[in-house]
Amino acid sequence: MKKTILFSTLLMSASLLAQKKNVTMEDAVLGLSTNLRIENLNQVQWIPNQNAYTQNVKTSYGEALIKKEVPSLKTDTIFRSSQFENKRIPSLNWINDKQAYYSTKTGYKTITTAGQQTDWLKLPDNAENIEFDATNNQVGYVIDNNLFFVDKAGKTHQITKDGKYEIVNGKSVHQNEFGIHKGIFISPKGSLVAFYRMDQTVVTDYPIIDWSVQPAVNKNIKYPFAGTKNHTVTLGVYNPATQKTTFLETHPEVDHYLTSVTWSPDEKHIYIALLSRNQKHLELNQYDAVSGKLIKTLFKEDDAKYVEPQNELHFIPGKTNEFVWWSQRDSFMHLYRFNTAGKLLNQITKGDWIVTDLVGENAKKKEFLIMTTKDSPKDRHLYAVNWENGKLRKITTDAGTHNVSVSSNGEYAIDNWSNDNTPRKIDVLDANGKFKQNILTAQNPLTNYNTAKVENVTLKADDGTDLYGKLIYPTNFDSSKKYPVIVYLYNGPHAQLITNRFPATGNLWYDHLAEKGYVVFTMDGRGSANRGLKFEQAIHGNVATTEMNDQMKGVDFLK
């Protein structure tokens, strides 16, 4: 009898194993956004100035946007899909705790929590680089490289008229390097509009082939190769009241980059980091927003290899004369508190790890909520840090990669995270570690699939630096056999392949290769991101050699 039960159990196990699917090429390329999409929640976001978040849910009468108060989790319905034209809850952007805006086929509308809807504005179909100042009912946008602005009275201002292929207004500049991600900067109170103007007349054309159409066509872009002439960038300030534009005196004849553009909270000044073209010298300057005059240089940063600013200034809550500056001056990206006289007040964070994001603040406790690599370069965790004394508190506890949004007062957070074996969890928690409520534990979409065995490995570079990698075994691996190996790498700046997130392989393409009988090896060598300046700068002036040396350590390991 026991033998029969054992035999039946083995047959059932074999049957279940046989029923598992292989990861197809289509699954590998499209699966995580289609049939293998990881379960998530819709429109989970904090309501401004409330300890409450929203969530889009399905009901018997259609969709509803509900509000959940924290920590009680008391639930109320804010909107129903029947209130909207297409009977769906649109993607809402909160203006304040009682009003949001959303896009329609014909423009943008606002809606209050009382249900009152108003037509807000309609933009031309060819508008791009749209920058909203919803608090003041204003918006900036670009058409044909010219900048337009709709003020709070609904009047449209054409700020520039010289836009063309060679002259670009209101767009991101410098190939989006140095943390630059937009070209329109509306002042905090909405009184003024700053914008980039890029003159690339002297820059040579570079052909780009558009393969998405048949036949393929060539589209030229302006690209300043090393050793060739660079574009000239200036920053203009437009006053809608006077309809006048003033350009800041950033000395356009100098070959440099304008980065970290930041308004002062009182709108009197604009701060710009001027970075030399060889990236070895940076100075943070303060300009008068009305006259455009340079007031002073607050401080300078120099590095024999390169300085790489990545963030704007962040003013201390309630202060117009104190701000946070991001810097790698001690070899790791950390936060520094300065005053507007240029005096360093204190280094807020320090250690052999980096700050990756500043996600919130608690003015009462004088704390910033930050994401860091303090626990592991492969993980991301939420910490609170006091901006005066640097006292640090860890908030998230589960190993993995955490993506966090923080309430306006910095007291609560929504934590959307995963690790190698956890597809997704979403938790609501407080910053003091006293409250934690799971609101989603996603099912593993790969449960019925044959997935590869993954081994995390740590090797040593020739200078003793730890190198993190993953060894992915072929399906039905037999240690007595030899297998073909694919080494997948990208050691370039701002790239990181080895992280503690789902899926464990890092990429379903690797699972597909494993099913085809390949060993896959991938490792972050020196030059890649989130390991500090020494690790990143190891490839400076020596790209191919250092990268190859590190990857050969992996090949030696495989042998």
Residue 415: which of 455, 365, 359 has the closest Cα? 359
Quick one: pLDDT at residue 418?
A: 98
Q: Where are the alpha helices (DSSP H) in 93-210?
A: none
The single-letter code of the amino acid at 414 is I
Quick one: pLDDT at residue 178?
A: 95
Quick one: pLDDT at residue 19?
A: 83
In the block, tokens 């190891």 appear at 538
Phi, psi of 6, rounded to the nearest 5 degrees = -65, -45
Measured distance CA(534)–CA(75) in Å, rounded = 50
Burial class (CB within 10 angstroms; exposed 0-12, middle 13-18, buried 19+) of 193: buried
Quick one: pLDDT at residue 18?
A: 57
Structure tokens at 81: 């899909």
Measured distance CA(551)–CA(471) in Å, rounded = 13
DSSP 3-state of 554: helix
Residue 504: which of 433, 452, 543, 544 has the closest Cα? 452
Beta-bridged to residue 513, according to DSSP, are: none
Quick one: pLDDT at residue 255?
A: 87
Name the DSSP letter for residue 449: B
Residue 516: which of 15, 18, 17, 28 has the closest Cα? 28
Measured distance CA(327)–CA(338) in Å, rounded = 12
The string of DSSP letters for 223-253 reads: ---TTSPPPEEEEEEEETTTTEEEE----TT
Measured distance CA(399)–CA(422) in Å, rounded = 10
The single-letter code of the amino acid at 180 is I
What long-range pairs does 476-484 form, CB within 8 A, spacing at least 24? 477/453, 483/517, 483/518, 483/519, 484/517, 484/518, 484/519
What are the pLDDT tens digits along the chain (559 aa)? 545 555 555 445 445 555 899 999 999 999 999 999 999 999 999 999 999 999 999 999 899 999 999 999 999 999 999 999 989 999 999 999 999 999 998 899 999 999 999 999 999 999 999 999 999 999 999 999 999 999 999 999 999 999 999 999 999 999 899 999 999 999 999 999 999 999 999 999 999 999 999 999 999 999 999 889 999 999 999 999 999 999 999 987 788 999 999 999 999 999 999 999 999 999 999 999 999 999 999 999 999 999 999 999 999 999 999 999 999 999 999 999 999 999 999 999 999 999 999 999 999 999 999 999 999 999 999 999 999 999 999 999 999 999 999 999 999 999 999 999 999 999 999 999 899 999 999 999 999 999 999 999 999 999 999 999 999 999 889 999 999 999 999 988 999 999 999 999 999 999 999 999 999 999 999 999 999 999 999 999 998 899 999 999 999 999 9
Quick one: pLDDT at residue 555?
A: 95
Measured distance CA(184)–CA(145) in Å, rounded = 12
Q: Where are the alpha helices (DSSP H) in 1-113?
A: 2-19, 25-30
Beta-bridged to residue 238, according to DSSP, are: 193, 245
Residue 275: which of 147, 173, 165, 171 has the closest Cα? 173
Structure tokens at 444: 């593993």
Measured distance CA(125)–CA(313) in Å, rounded = 34
Quick one: pLDDT at residue 214?
A: 93
HSE at residue 219, side-chain half, CA atoms within 13 A, is 8
Quick one: pLDDT at residue 465?
A: 96
Measured distance CA(76)–CA(62) in Å, rounded = 16
Using CA atoms, how far residue 397 sits from 51, 231, 415, 503, in Å, is 22, 47, 11, 20
The answer to whether 248 and 237 have CB atoms below 8 angstroms apart is yes
Measured distance CA(400)–CA(382) in Å, rounded = 11
Alpha-carbon torsion, ordered 117, 119, 125, 128, to 10 deg: -80
Largest CA distance in the chain: 95
